């Protein structure tokens, strides 16, 4: 795998580029070996009995050892239908202190830039605790405060409820001195799906066009066929093939819970993307959702949206969460910082 040598300059309009990051460290190989023998068997067991009362909510509670970067500030935020958490790491601009009579920020926040983060977990699990370390590192590398949203999840709530919660998070940032045009929406895995969905809805509803989107190993297509037809369906260290189809079934079942008048949620790859902001998409070269990342980047390009697809050799799904342990993860986080700074 060769590394594409591209200049780290702002992406021009109507431009898409793919950058390949070669090399697999010993620690990265150890991480892949570990998740293949622990996480993957657990997901496979779940796929055979997905309707059992699996303790999905316990995963977030058990993640308390995943502490944020030392010195990170945290503040609980209560959104209308779910909890959220505002974090800013050492060196990051604090959140806007207050909002003046004209609606602009007074104090704090420098240029008003903030990040809205939507966690992964297949729309089923994880939350504020599991992603606190990753979110704090994103705050540190971008120099901006981050609002992480603990959105409503399957199987009790359809995906559109999570989109609504993400929009509430964006509205909260706007109301507290961070204009939508200065907010970067980011997320991993299922949170990558929500990243694009929330950005699209923000534009459609007139909330504002976010500054950019950052999607880490995004699930961008609810149709499982593309993933199952790709060779990576046999290579992925995290997801067994069976789990992909099972998740699709659960999503369809949850969508029917929304009641009459609610439109089924559309996959980001099927949306009208012409008004979307610039995007950074990161994916591992052998993970299950590689095909989604590649397809999303292509669809953005066809819509005339600046997009950068980064392909990291043999990195596991959402490998950025291992920053501080795996060197490639730290480099990927640094790339996120570079992308966000160039949007300013």
**Cα 40–Cα 41–Cα 42 angle in degrees, nearest 5:** 90
Render 258-322 in DSSP notation, one character per residue: G-TTPPPPPPGGGS--TTPPPEEEEEETTSTTHHHHHHHHHHHHHTT--EEEEEETTPPTTGGGG
Question: Other CB atoms closer than 10 Å to residue 304's CB: what's the count?
Answer: 14
Give the closest residue to 34 by CA, choosing from 189, 26, 192: 26
Q: Position of tokens 């979307």?
A: 276
Q: Give dist(CA 209, CA 342) in Å, integer.
A: 17
Q: Are the beta carbons of 323 and 134 closer than 8 angstroms?
A: yes
Question: Other CB atoms closer than 10 Å to residue 223's CB: what's the count?
Answer: 12
Is 189 a residue of the active site?
Answer: yes
Q: Which residue of the set 32, 136, 189, 233 is catalytic?
A: 189
* Residues whose CB falls within 8 Å of the CB of residue 283, separated by 6 or more in sequence, listed in order: 217, 218, 289, 290, 293, 294, 309, 310, 311, 312
Question: Other CB atoms closer than 10 Å to residue 11's CB: what's the count?
Answer: 20
Q: Give dist(CA 258, CA 322) in Å, integer.
A: 36
Phi, psi (degrees; rounded to nearest 5) at 33: -60, -40
Which residues are designated catalytic?
Answer: 189
């Amino acid at each position: 795998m060769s590394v594409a040598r591209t200049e780290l300059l702002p992406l021009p309009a109507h431009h898409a580029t793919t950058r390949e990051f070669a090399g697999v460290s010993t620690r990265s190989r150890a991480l892949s070996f570990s998740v293949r023998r622990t996480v993957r068997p657990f997901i496979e067991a779940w796929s055979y009995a997905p309707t059992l009362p699996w303790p999905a909510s316990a995963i977030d509670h058990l993640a308390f050892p995943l502490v944020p970067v030392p010195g990170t500030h945290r503040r609980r935020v209560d959104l209308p239908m779910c909890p959220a958490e505002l974090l800013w790491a050492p060196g990051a601009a604090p959140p806007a202190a207050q909002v003046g009579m004209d609606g602009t920020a007074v104090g704090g926040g420098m240029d008003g830039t903030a990040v809205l983060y939507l966690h992964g977990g297949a729309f089923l699990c994880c939350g504020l605790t599991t992603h606190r370390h990753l979110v704090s590192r994103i705050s540190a590398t971008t120099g901006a405060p981050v609002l992480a949203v603990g959105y409503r999840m399957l199987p009790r709530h359809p995906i559109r409820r999570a989109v609504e919660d993400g929009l509430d998070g964006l509205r909260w940032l706007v109301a507290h001195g961070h204009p939508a045009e200065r907010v970067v929406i980011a997320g991993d895995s299922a949170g990558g799906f929500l990243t694009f969905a929330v950005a699209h809805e923000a534009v459609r509803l007139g909330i504002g066009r976010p500054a950019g989107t950052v999607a880490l190993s995004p699930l961008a297509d609810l149709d499982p066929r593309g993933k199952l037809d790709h060779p990576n369906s046999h290579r992925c260290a995290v997801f067994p093939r069976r789990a992909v189809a099972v998740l699709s079934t659960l999503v369809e079942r949850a969508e029917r819970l929304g009641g009459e008048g609610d439109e089924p949620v559309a996959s980001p790859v099927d949306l009208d993307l012409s008004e979307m902001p610039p995007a950074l998409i990161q994916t591992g070269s052998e993970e299950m959702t590689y095909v989604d990342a590649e397809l999303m980047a292509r669809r953005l390009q066809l819509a005339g949206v600046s997009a950068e697809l980064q392909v990291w050799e043999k990195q596991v799904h959402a490998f950025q969460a291992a920053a501080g342990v795996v060197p490639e993860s730290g480099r990927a986080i640094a790339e996120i910082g570079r992308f966000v700074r160039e949007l300013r």
